[in-house]
Structure 1
Amino acid sequence: MRSVFLLLSCAAVMAAGCSRDAAPAPEAAPAKPKPVAVKVDRSQDESSYAEPGKVAITDLALDLAIDFDKKTIGGTATYKLDWKDKSATQLVLDTRALTLSKVEGDDGKGNWTPLKYALAANDKIFGSKLTIETPARNPNVRIAYQTSPEASGLQWLEPSMTEGKQLPFMFSQSQAIHARSWVPLQDTPSVRFTYSAHVTSRPDVMVLMSADNDPAAPRDGDYSFKMPNPIPSYLLAIAAGDLVFKPISARSGVWAEPTMVDKAAKEFEDTEKMIATTEALYGPYRWGRYDMLVLPPSFPFGGMENPRLTFVTPTVIVGDKSLVSLIAHELAHSWSGNLVTNASSKDMWLNEGFTTYVQSRITEAVYGQEAAEMERQIDQADLAEEIKTAAPADQLLVLAPLTGRDPDEALSGIPYNKGAWFLQFLEQRFGREVFDPFLRGWFDDHAFQSVNSDQFVAYLRKNLLPKNPTAVTEAELNTWLNEPGIPAFAPKAQSRGFAIVDTARIAWLGSKTLPNAQITSAWTTQQWVHFIDGLGDKLGAEQLKQLDDAYKFTGTQNGEIAMRWYPLAVRSGYAEAQPAIGAFLERVGRRKLIMPIYEELVKTPEGLAFAKEVFAKARPGYHPITTGSVEALLAKTEAGK
């Protein structure tokens, strides 16, 4: 059968310059050629200058020094190279705001000689292309360099910005294309490499990396690491601060500041159950240890799946394990994303959609079917809302090349939630007894490889569709992958627990009588989220105060509730919440939680002024990625005025 990628939708065909049922041309007019669908090379990464088809990094050796006073990392990066094109004479790398002092090549006999190189002008999205002349196609190349204090992939925190307020803190965030800001690299997920590192720092901080961190390692300012499995550049990670370790199981534990470690270990105590559950479904965990590092609240994401050392936001530690599905998500990346990686950002659904699906299966196995169903229903509702304002081209799973686009800004919830929904659809049509072995086979057969959507569809056609040839039609497959929106035939999640919430909310809106405390006292975060999401666009001040008096939404430490309650308060003119909104925005830097609040504030002149005032105070503690997102929103709003 033909690939679904050759089945163009009507809109796509018309965009290509043809139309249906056009009026016949005069006899003398030459016939117009039929449009030809252009085949996209889905392994090509438009967000990188690198040329891995000619030469690829297979191993990276770092020798680095962390300087907290200068807010820089400096040292050398040594690359082992695989010259695929025997006529190639250049090594092209990605960099961003790096200062290079020396580039050398090894002749294979241990002799290092200088190499000529050119650093192109900086592009505001992609950084500077580094071209190294390698006429001898050296087996190893070494670069001496130093980062900028403003490196987009590093955040430096003063002691006052940490939990313990005793020592400074530094951590990286390499995804999507920020690794190039602290290591010159082929910064593309299509290239995988092993790595080792020797890192020195001030002796009172602990240094960790996405590698073999020894829980018993002394804090002495001199550290060595090794990652024997090949990883893409976005999984290269480093952190340093006042960090201690607490075990959860023989192969898992928590790193955190001393005042946070016990609380975090208690919240994440089910991690070993999650690992064993995923192994039973999808095969062995292949990364050795699975540890977690709890970062300060400025971390811009919920979690980052750095192998062997997941980075975690403290905003998921709420005391009742209701948000630990984030740990399930980051753990799931050990199979989908880390083990089998999307070759470029345009196929992000192969990473995040698969991971969100696996996360749901872990949650169901460990916490029950109803807990997973509530989260699926929230995800599906979030997707429906996001699609209302997303451009049709961005609603596809199989995206067009992101030429010229910042992959950070191109990323949305669509690859997560629509991708997971597609896999849930396949699971429903084929049954778990068929679908689970198929998915495990996908992970096993592509382990430690970078893949694209064409490869997945080919694998699907060979290994799943023949199991039941009538289960999924060609049109249905094409609708999921290549058409905008949510397919009308998508299976919808339906939580019984949410039915209770809906009844309570409807009763309150009609009678102003709050539900019995015996009912709401047992509600999980997900139920409160569903309650607030259904309150409508605005409420009266008295209604908001009644809810606030009963449930203390204003000032909540639960970010999932705050990100929904505060926008509702802003839209409804509930001024009593403004001080708490300001405090929340200053304390938390996680983009998912704060951007909806900023987006609501900037809709009015008064709100815009408040947003700018809060941002000025919060900015020193925000990660560069978060800062960039808020700045872009404020600039867009100002331009719109």
Structure 2
Amino acid sequence: MFVERKITKALHDSEVLRQFRALAGFKELKEEIEVVLKNGPYTRLIPDLKGVDPDDAFSIVPYEKGFTLLFYLETLLGGPEVFEKFLRAYIERFKQQSIDSDQWKEFLYSYFQDKREVLDGVELDKWFYSEGMPPVIPKYDDSLAVPCKQLCQRWSTSGDNDLDQFTPSDLTSLTSVQVVEFLALLVEQPPLSLNKVQKMNELYKLNDVKNSEVRFRWLRLCIKAQWKEAIPRVLDFVNEQGRMKFVRPLYRDLYGWEDARPTAIENFKKHRGEMHNTTATMLAKDLKLI
């Protein structure tokens, strides 16, 4: 994840975009840790998996909590250029090998010998073994999130009789990653009224969007508003997608909606054989089938 966002920065020549994506990832991490894993042992960067089915421990924690640690280290050890040289040295040293976290830590200390006091202050073992959210939350640049927050606030606070203020240009003025953030912010808010969600679709044509990241968050909004006509679209999406980051939250949302629960379970049973075994097992647990 850390390297992926480095590549995004290079492609778009935008450090602000890298940090904007980091903010979005942090939001997903928070939901995973607090809602799904309930701050339990699998929220550690180094969980104890003795006698544990590895599938039970699979989550975005190593991706996003690990990213947070690396970004924090980058800010302490000299910035992006300095840390990228470390990454290159690390890859060169350990290419075509399988290593553990202790070896990574030893190499980190050996590379930054003049920063040992700084590294001691990070308390890496706390990062590795503590449960819950990261010990330190870096300060990310959130300038790209400002219009997303403003539009979210307008939709959240407007009344059903005050929707004429919204126009299609609300979204056309945003990039696709900002649209994703806008919808993600709305998902965190109390459910919108059905009237609002239908008006949003009328203006923004969100039912026609093919972008999976947008569709995922839009469908979560529809479920929260209990828009029954959206259920077939949700099922189409989860049947098309194999990624747990999409299908697990949507199935959990459907399960939490009593009227949609039987349909969700029926759909899962019908398509279980088409899923990756790990995905099928985790969904069965989400749907209280095992």
- TM-score, normalization by structure 1: 0.41
User: What residue is the counterpart of 1:601 in the other structure?
Assistant: 254
- The whole-number CA distance in structure 2 between the counterparts of 1:555 and 1:517 is 14
Gap change, CA 1:620 and 1:412, over 3 Å in 2 = closer
1:327-366 counterparts in 2 under 5 A? Answer: 356-366=1-11
Among 528, 547, 561, the residue aligned to 2:200: 547
Instruction: Please give the per-residue CA displacement for 1:181-219, whole angstroms capped at 9, x wherever unaligned.
Output: xxxxxxxxxxxxxxxxxxxxxxxxxxxxxxxxxxxxxxx
Instruction: Please give the per-residue CA displacement for 1:318-340, whole angstroms capped at 9, x wherever unaligned.
Output: xxxxxxxxxxxxxxxxxxxxxxx
Gap change, CA 1:372 and 1:516, over 3 Å in 2 = farther
Gap change, CA 1:626 and 1:388, over 3 Å in 2 = closer
Give the C-alpha shift of residue 455 in structure 1: 0.8
More strand, by proportion: 1
CA contact (8 A) 1:508 1:514 kept: no
Cα RMSD (Å):
2.3
Looking at both structures, which has the greater relative contact order when contacts are Cα pairs under 8 Å and sequence separation is at least 6?
2
- The whole-number CA distance in structure 2 between the counterparts of 1:387 and 1:469 is 31
Gap change, CA 1:411 and 1:625, over 3 Å in 2 = closer
**Corresponding residue SS for 2:259:** helix
Among 535, 538, 550, the residue aligned to 2:191: 538
User: What residue is the counterpart of 2:234 in the other structure?
Assistant: 581
- The whole-number CA distance in structure 1 between the counterparts of 2:170 and 2:224 is 28
Give the C-alpha shift of residue 516 in structure 1: 4.8
**Corresponding residue SS for 1:450:** coil
**Counterpart code for 1:396:** R
User: What residue is the counterpart of 2:175 in the other structure?
Assistant: 524
**Counterpart code for 1:404:** G
- TM-score, normalization by structure 2: 0.87
**Corresponding residue SS for 2:206:** coil
Give the C-alpha shift of residue 538 in structure 1: 0.9
- The whole-number CA distance in structure 1 between the counterparts of 2:120 and 2:280 is 45
Give the C-alpha shift of residue 519 in structure 1: 4.6
Gap change, CA 1:620 and 1:521, over 3 Å in 2 = same
User: What residue is the counterpart of 1:72 in the other structure?
Assistant: none
Structure 2, unpaired ranges of 5+: none
User: What residue is the counterpart of 2:212 in the other structure?
Assistant: 559
1:224-623 counterparts in 2 under 5 A? Answer: 356-367=1-12, 368-389=14-35, 390=37, 391-400=39-48, 402-431=49-78, 432-464=80-112, 466-474=113-121, 476-487=123-134, 489-511=136-158, 512-535=163-186, 536-554=189-207, 556-623=209-276
**Counterpart code for 1:455:** Q
Choose 1 or 2 for highest CA Rg.
1
Gap change, CA 1:486 and 1:442, over 3 Å in 2 = same
- The whole-number CA distance in structure 2 between the counterparts of 1:585 and 1:520 is 25
- The whole-number CA distance in structure 2 between the counterparts of 1:616 and 1:433 is 50
User: What residue is the counterpart of 2:279 in the other structure?
Assistant: 626
Gap change, CA 1:577 and 1:388, over 3 Å in 2 = same
CA contact (8 A) 1:396 1:481 kept: yes
- The whole-number CA distance in structure 1 between the counterparts of 2:82 and 2:20 is 25
Gap change, CA 1:454 and 1:558, over 3 Å in 2 = same
Percent identical among aligned pairs is 28
Instruction: Please give the per-residue CA displacement for 1:547-573, whole angstroms capped at 9, x wherever unaligned.
Output: 111122235322212222223322321
- The whole-number CA distance in structure 2 between the counterparts of 1:413 and 1:374 is 18
- The whole-number CA distance in structure 2 between the counterparts of 1:502 and 1:527 is 10
- The whole-number CA distance in structure 1 between the counterparts of 2:72 and 2:102 is 19
Structure 1, unpaired ranges of 5+: 1-355
